[in-house]
Each structure stands twice: as structure tokens, then as C-alpha cells.
Chains A and B, each alone.
Chain A
């Protein structure tokens, strides 16, 4: 039964809960609104912790009985619609029967880490923004976003995938619009329209794939086709070069999908929405945007474009390399020239996501696994970075890098977290980012040889901008340091306990995954190993004999 599935709970639960809480917050009388908002906030936080424990239990083999490393390709766990063709015909998991839409969910080694990451980041981001006077609507919107994000990662039906993909835009739009910085109107609208435009191109690609996914016509289906991804994967494996009617169409669809995903990741040259969105978004919004939303693009790329159209990936390998390289280098260099802390971190996100493209383009199991691990690592480190920026905004009222010096004396905890986060992001060994980077670099060397010099040198520039900004802010300035104008002479307060708690959790996981990466790396490399050996090698032999 579809509602007994824990993945359905993880997806629809937060959405329904968010709507209920929003209604409660609206329906209560204005005089008691403050009080009730507090309770609702606590309830929402407790609910998100519940979801986190659910996904963690799913992870622990002793509880769930699932061996994550032996799932294999095109095989999903908690799959509610296992033999799709038969099940669809029997009407088991159908959602909009007439059009071929089904409620098909499942996770594997690629998507589960993302699901777990989302359930982790939601309570953490709520915790970090706890005290901000935002009422219950803010937290309800975050909960809504959680449901939509998890929906993207677990859905195996492309219609539902697209629905959740766009659904994530709405809460983020409101988060930026209502609680963002000064220029939030422009940033929110640019974010929505830009990503939506790229997504409709992706939708066009999806529709073409839908056209070719025939199913035995069952009663009520007016098109004779379905959106189910497992069916598409099966037919892609089976048909090979005549999937989608020919290699040319495969390439065209790949390019359409690439545009949509590249704009989300974001990859140069489709990245300009990110700095504006990040700078104007509230802290929790930035954390979720950088932590999970960007990963949606990478995940979609791997799940849909790469898995279903591997021949096109091989054909366009150099394009992906160039996109990744340009993002990496360009992002790092532009970072160097920024004076706004959040903008700098935004460009560093662009740069790191370029590494993911590089990892995938190597077409090595290690590279792809490294790219997936980078998604997880960046998903933990980047929110930490933004939490630090948020703390700066909150306590120092400014984000200009040049405006303060030597804050170590005033805000030791903040300095400590800044240093931890900055070091993690530049790829310090023993932290998660390093594992991902080294995996990708090694795979890159295996695939492209000496070309690896270029990304390696860029990592130096990454280190440069991080260290420069960190040193200026934390250490220089002599004994007293220099406080920014925006404080108007007051003494800054160090971070509050909940900001601290949230950031410590993130730092802890960054270190944990740096020291024991196999926790998640094993399932990722199982996935990528299977993918390369079962799918990619055949395609490589075909395309480049």
C-alpha cells in the first residue's frame, strides 16, 4: 500500500504538516499569535527531528535490514512499485492514470545520502535561525521545502520528479521575498524565473522521453505511455543506440536536460542567479539552497541524463569537462575579487559544483563516486559556511570582508566556526571535502592524465581566497581589531547557543565524514561501480571501439 512506505511519509508528511501548521498559524487570533507561534515552532522542529531519526534508522542496517552497498543498478529500496509495467497496468501505484503518471518512489546508493542530508539540514537550519522573529510561517515554509526536496530525490516517475522540482521553488521564493535582504524582490524573482526557464527546457526533454516510453495500454490511459523512470532505464538498456529513435535524438534530449540541470547546479554560464539569491536570502534559506537545492541539479543529471543516456554522455564528455573546468576556475577566480562574504561563498559553491561535473566526466567509478560524495560533503560544509555568514550578519550587521579585523577577541566561537568551515571548504584533509576532492582528482588523472594540473592549481586559488578572507577577518588588526561601521560602536555579542549548536553539528559531520567517509562512500562507489561496469563500459566499447 503506497502510504505505508516510509519514503512516502518522508515526502508527503512534511508537506501536509507544513500546510496544517500554516493554517493553524493563520487561524489563531491575533492576540495570541506570538505565543502560538512559539509552540508551532517547537512542534515543527520536533517533527523534523522525527524525520531525521526515521531516515537515520533507514540507514542503519541493523534496524532496516537493508544492505546499502549491495543494491545495484536500477534496483531500488523501499520501492513501492517494483515491477513497474505490471503494477501500472494493475493500477497499483497510479496517480494520474490517464496520463501515465504514477507514484513510484525508491532510493538507492545515489539518492539515499541526499535524502538523509536533507533530513539533517532542515532541523539544523531551523536551529540556526531559531531566534529570528519570524513566526511560524517561516518554519512551516522550511518544512514544506523539506517535503519537496525529499520528493525530488525519491521519486522515480518523471512527472512527479518535475512537480517536486518546481515545487521547491515556491517556498524558497517566499523565504527570500519575505525575510531576505534589501534587494530581495529582484533576487527572488530572478531566482524563480531563471531556474524555471531552464527547467522547462528540461521538461521538453522529459516529454520526448515520455513519448518513447510505451506501456501496454490499460483502461483509461489516453496516451499509451508512462513517465516511469525504471521503464525508461530498461528500454534504454535494451535498445541501446536506437533508444529515443536514434542517437541524434538522444543527444538532443541530453542537451536539453543538461541545460536544466546545469542552471540548477549552477554551472557557468548559467550561474548568475546564485550570487543574488544567496546574498539576499535569509540564513536558513541560504543553507538549504546551497546545501540541498544545488544538489538537486547534480542528482538529476546523474539519475536522468547520465543513467538513461550514457551514450550521449560519452559523446559529450569533453563538453562536460569544459563546463566543469570553467565553473571551477572561473568560480574560484571571481571569488577572489569579491568583498561581500556571502557572495564569495556563493561563487565558491559554483566552483565546487564544477568539480562534480569533472568527476562525472571522468567516467571512472572513483570519479563518479567522488562526485556523489562531493554532493554530500559540500551539502554539509556549505550550510556551515552560510551559517557563519548568517551569524556575521546577525551580530555584526555587515557582510563586507574588509570592514572588520581581528574579531577573534570579540567573538571567539564565531572565529572558531569560521575557521573550521573555511578549512573544511578548502579541502583540508580529515574533513569531508578533501575525500571528495582527492577522489575526483585521482579519477581525473586516470582519465585525462596531466590535465589534472589545472584543477589542482585552482584548488590553490580556492585556498587563497579562503585564507585571505579568514585571516583578515579573524586575526589582523593588532590588539583591539577593527569593528565595522555597522555596529555603531557597540560591542558585538558572540554567537547564541543555538547557532553554535547547529554549526557544531555540521562541523562534527564534516569531520566524521572526513575521517570515516566509507559510511556513505561505500554505497556511492557500489552504485558508480555497477553503473560503469554494467552500462558505461558497453557504451564506451560501442562509441569508441
Chain B
């Protein structure tokens, strides 16, 4: 495969601009902090000519500042997000406006019926999920920006006392190194996620998945002065690797069955299949393990609470939002694009429904008695995965593959809406916790006591995020949950309504998936307990200290923006626009 056409053709370059930006960012990240007064001595004897090539040597003060890596990563991600958003809004990539990149590096306007295998498919759906990914990573970057220096402030004093703190200048360089490592990994995650979003081949999907996952495992383990972080990273890495290995096995089975791993080809073969080939079935089943791990579905979610607790809050936030979205993209691609039958119910509906029910209940129950805010948010994340899985189960009811797509599109749109606004309030709450972490707190519920007295705005923001997670109107979380359940109800009533006179007879004739919708609502009510607990603890109890928290202006602004977003996307014109955006993405997904 030759890469030149990929870059020479202006069309492809434009199509892949966000991804190119990421690559540029990565390169900058490697180069910029290393800019220095490095010189190269020309090997002419008896002369002392030194040619500076600007790399290595004594580093420039400005470019080796610990802030630079953060700035680079945030700007890169910001740029990518804007490009993706712009491309979605200017020319909505739905239906006719699709790019398909082949292995030969050429760009085509449609992926349908192509003889050559394709690498990437760029449409409205992929752009939207990219926005989700980049958005969450960007917020993480901004948060880590404020965790300056890389060694937590509260530990510096201890280090100085113990005489372990070296000369400030060396210290800054070390900090810079750490920041580079972190933000580089962040950009790697972004790149991996982009590949997942764009993939039109299952193997490419897997590569992207692994790139993102492995980078995120390191990110989890990053805060090495903390006891829990390496342990968390290790566990998540082990479990993740096991899951990925199983998934890879599944992919190989699919390859054996089909001959290639192109999604469109797999879909065609699946439709043409008479009955269900056990090999293909097993392949999909194994893939579901990977998916289950990635989205934190029960019973694959057990490492999730540990991982979220040990990681730095912003990283946990990325896991909860971007990583989960990535998992759902994989799920949608595998279960919906590939294995959805021509008509009738998909074979995986009972399994997914069962998983959904167990996941949401397990998640909510686990959070009820949790005393660690991050652990509680981890379990809540599991619960939200359950809600989304319920919608997927309804999606599998499949009104008609070709023809009336409306309900399926509605469900996918609802899922995308939910994943998008999750970034606002889930990551937002992790950002508030991140501010607590900067002063060494945040691992016990007691740390949240009296936050309202210390920082009223932050406490209000956190409380509103909690309410949004619970699904209280008029916040974005309510609208997203409502869209999900509305989709579930639409799908089930559409398939199964009977015009009967009796209550029980009518209820019996409804497809059982509608009870998943009921379960979603009941679970929301159940979850309200622990979300409210955060609220009253902040407003009611006395704080451990009265000092104001770390200044961190950008982080505060970001949190406020998340707050405004949570409120604005709940009802009103902005919500309307977002629904329009996600429905375009959904239409593109099915096109």
C-alpha cells in the first residue's frame, strides 16, 4: 500500500484533516520540548564550527516549560474538534457526502460496491463520534494542564522537607518530561480513537481500538506517586488484554468464515447466510466480550471501579466518556452494521437485553453504598452503559433493514445524543473532582463535605451534573434518557401492538424489551439516591477546611462551560441543533 496518493490528493487530505492535525500534534509534541541549543560539530579537523540544529542540548526555557506539552495537546485537539465540527456543519456528511478511503490511498465518494478493500469511511457518523472523542480528550488535557506541576502540589512540600527535591530548573525539566509523556499518550489515544471512528474494515477497527486502549492503560497508571494508580492501570491492562485477545480470536474466526474483514462484505455475507453459521456466531460472541469490557458492561466491568479510582480524575473521565463511546462505536459496527438481519429480530437481542438489565442494576446498586466519589461515578458509568445497551436491544428489534429506518435511526440518534452530553456532565463531574485531587483530596465522600461553603459555583456545578446523570429535567441528561426510552417504546410498540381490551392482555402482547425501558426509568429513580447524597453532603455538612481551592482559571471556565452546556442542551434551540446533528449522524450510519 502506497501512502503517497493519500497525501497528494487534496480531496483525501481534506477528508482526513482532523487526523492529520493529530499527527502533526504528535510530531510537535515530540519535537518542541526537545528544542534546544543542540549543535552539530562539523568534522573538519582543526576547526570548531558548530552548526546548531535546534534539537537536544540545553533546552530553551520557553519550550521546555512544563506547560507547553499541555498547550500543544489541547490546541491540537481543539483544532481537530473544530475541523470535525465544521465539516459536519458546513457539509453534513450524510447520505451523499461520504468519503471512502481505499487501501490504495484513493478517496471515493461512497463505500458501497467497491471491489478494492477500503480502509476508512468518513461520514457524518464518524465525524460526530470523533467530536465526542476529541472533546473528552480535550477537556482532560485542560484539566491536566491545571495539575501543575506534574508532581502534586501537596507532595512538593513533603519532598522539599525530605531533601528529595532537586534544583528547580532540573525539576522543571523533569516535570516537562512527565507532561510530554502524558499528553503524547493523550494524543495517541485520540489517534487510535479516530481510526476506530473511521474504520470500514474490522481489522483496522481493531488496530485503532488497541492503539487507544494501550495508551489509555498507561494513562491510568500514570500518577505513579499514588499507590493506587499503577495497581489500577495494571489490573485494567490485564483484563483489557484478555478481553482484546478474546476479541482478536473472534475476528480471526470471522476472517476464516468470510475471507476478508471488510464491514460491507461481512454484512452482505451475513445477510446471505442461511441460518447462522456457528463460526460466525462464535466470532461475534467473542467480539462481544471485547465490546463488553470496553463499554463496562456486566460481567466484564469489574476492573472499572478500580481503574477509575486509581487513575487521575480527568483520565477516569476520558474512560467514562470517550472510551465508552469508542466501545459503543465498535458495538454498533459489529452488531448493527454487520449482524443485523434483513428483517426480523436480530439473534443477539435476548443477550444484549439481559446484559443491559444486569449492567444497569449492578451499576446502580454498587454505587448506592459507595463512599468514594470516584468509585461511585465508576459504577454510575456502568449503569449508563446499561441504559445504552437497553437501547441497543431495542435497536435489534429491527423494523426493516431497508425501508422504514425511522425508529432505528431514532435509537442510534438517541444513543449518540446520550454519549455526547455524557461528556458534558460526566466528564464535568470528574473535572470538579480533579480540582479536589489537586489538593490531595477526592478519594472519600468526606472530602466533598461542605464544598458549597468553600466554592459555591463549583458545588452548584457538581450538583447539577449529578442531577443530569440522574435524569432530572430540564437538563441534558433528562433529554437523552427520554430519547433512549422513547426509542425503546417506539420500537416495541411498533412491533407488537395488539388492539385488545384488557390491560393484562395488552401488556402481555408487548415485546419484553419495553420492560427494559421501565427498568431504565426505575433505575434512574434508584440512582437518584446517591446523586442526591453528593448534593446534600456538599450543601449540608461542614468542610474540612475553609480555604479556597486552587485557582486554575481555565479549568474553572471549562467546568462552567460544561455546566452551561448541560443546561442549554436540555431544552431549547441548542438541544434542537444537537438533535439535528445526531440524527444526521444516525442517517449516515444507516446509509
Contact = CB atoms under 8 A, between A and B. Distances in A.
A442 interface: no
A98 B409 CA distance: 13
A193 B499 contact: no
Interface in B435-487: 456-457, 467, 472-474, 478-479, 482-483, 485-486
Interface centre among A177, A185, A188, A222 (most CB of B within 10 A): A222
B525 A193 contact: yes
Contact of A162 (B410, B473, B524, B540): B473
A245 B493 contact: yes
Contact of A185 (B410, B478, B503, B536): B536
B431 interface: no
B583 interface: yes
B576 interface: yes
B252 to A, nearest CB: 39
A248 B489 CA distance: 16
B575 A174 contact: no
Given A245-B499, A246-B499, A178 B539 contact: yes
A349 B473 CA distance: 28
Interface stretch (A40-48, A203-211, A327-335, A485-493): A203-211
Contact of A163 (B473, B539, B540, B583): B473
A192 B528 contact: yes
A224 interface: yes
A235 to B, nearest CB: 15
Given A163-B571, A174-B539, A196-B528, A208 B493 contact: yes
Interface residues of B, number: 52
B525 A189 contact: no
A269 interface: no
B532 A170 contact: no
A223 interface: yes
Interface string A89-102: 00000111111010
Given A211-B490, A255-B503, A163 B498 contact: no
Contacts of A26: 456-457
Nearest to A255: B503
Interface centre among B474, B489, B503, B580 (most CB of A within 10 A): B503
Nearest to B494: A211
Contact of A246 (B504, B506, B575): B506
Interface centre among B473, B497, B535, B575 (most CB of A within 10 A): B473
Contacts of A208: 489, 493
Given A96-B571, A189-B529, A204 B500 contact: no
A249 interface: yes
A96 B529 contact: no
B499 A192 contact: no
B522 interface: yes
Contacts of B505: 248
Nearest to B488: A207
A248 B501 contact: yes
Given A98-B583, A203-B521, A224-B406, A193 B474 contact: no
B572 interface: yes
A222 B456 contact: no
A263 to B, nearest CB: 11
B588 to A, nearest CB: 13
Contacts of B528: 192-193, 196-197
B141 to A, nearest CB: 30
Contacts of A196: 472, 525, 528
Contacts of B580: 98, 220
Nearest to B578: A98
Contacts of A174: 539
B27 interface: no
Interface string B555-574: 00000000000000001100
B549 interface: no
Given A177-B540, A197-B525, A251-B503, 6 more contacts: A26-B456, A185-B536, A185-B540, A204-B518, A248-B501, A248-B504
22 contacts: A26-B457, A96-B579, A98-B579, A162-B473, A163-B474, A166-B478, A193-B529, A197-B528, A200-B525, A203-B482, A207-B485, A207-B486, A208-B493, A210-B486, A223-B406, A223-B490, A245-B499, A246-B500, A246-B506, A248-B502, A248-B503, A251-B503
